[in-house]
Structure 1
Amino acid sequence: MRRSGFLTLFLASAIAIPSLACAADSVSGELKGTDGASHGIVTVTDAPKGVLLRLQVQGLTPGWHGIHFHEKGNCAAPKFTSAGAHVHATTPVVHGLLKADANDAGDLPNLYVAPDGTATVELYSTLVSLKGGKALPALMDADGASVVVHAKPDDYQTQPIGGSGDRVACAVLH
């Protein structure tokens, strides 16, 4: 009887393994400010026609902030310029969700931070993929990717970053 119980436990464990494999379809990172303080968590989940981005933030300046996928998985403070430019597949890069000729795959809608400095949002992007294979630029390529939050809102038109200003927080995706 004990062997049977062990076998049942073993089989139940074996059945649970495939559900762990689904976790590999997501990447996440800690959102850090220019001072190195933690400002939340960013999670990106693979979807059939793009990715789902979830942000849970705290301690940011209230109001609208531009956010973008950046081409490198590097967030060296204090200015996060090590994150590189926005993710893109072609050049020259034309920024702006409101521009007809836009091709900037890192573009995302603005993030609204409440008066208490917090925000929780899920955004869907059809402009990138998590690991490639969908005719979209892959976030998780050889040098990784990051999510950058900017000081001001993105106007979705101005080149090269929509007038969104300084980089105030950054999360390396892994």
Structure 2
Amino acid sequence: MSPVEKIRSLYGDDHYICRFQERGDIEAEFAKIGAKEVLKNILAFRTPGPFYFPKGKGFGYSAERAPWLTEEDLDYYVSRFEKTGFTGGVNYYRAFGLNWELNAPWSRAQVKVPVKFIVGELDLSYHVPGTKDYIHKGWFQKFVPLLHEIIVLEGAAHFVNQEKPEEINEHIHAFLKQF
């Protein structure tokens, strides 16, 4: 079963990855909502669980700007997406199936370099069923045998490097000093 089919079976058609599959559909909805509102809602998402985007209903609320994001930075991102649209970013999700197929020969490959894994405790991907067990109960280390440490950053969501830049820098620096 492809990753998109699996996501659809777990969460239904309104899950954002499923909604992003049809070319032009989500772009049209995002254009109606406006780049600033789209980015505010995506960047401020802090619910540890699936992200739904029901067709024609938008986000269902208007998020405040994420506290770690300055108005100046938000305006810059908005100006870029107003120029290019969201297709480039959304295509990443459209390529899930293709990437899954192309990477199949390496599905059991190991990452054989030293690794320090950092995730936000509120990151929606950290709350996909089975993910925490995979990470914390040894399965992750079977594929990443040189895993040095797993860090779960309290109060952080998906954009950990922007939400907690000092902590991320400290973790990276401490990790690199070992070598």
TM class, shorter-length: under 0.3
- TM-score, normalisation: structure 1: 0.23
Q: Which structure has the higher relative contact order (CA within 8 Å, separation 6+)? A: 1
* The structure with more radius of gyration: 1
- TM-score, normalisation: structure 2: 0.23
Whichever structure has more helix as a proportion of its residues is 2
Whichever structure has more strand as a proportion of its residues is 1
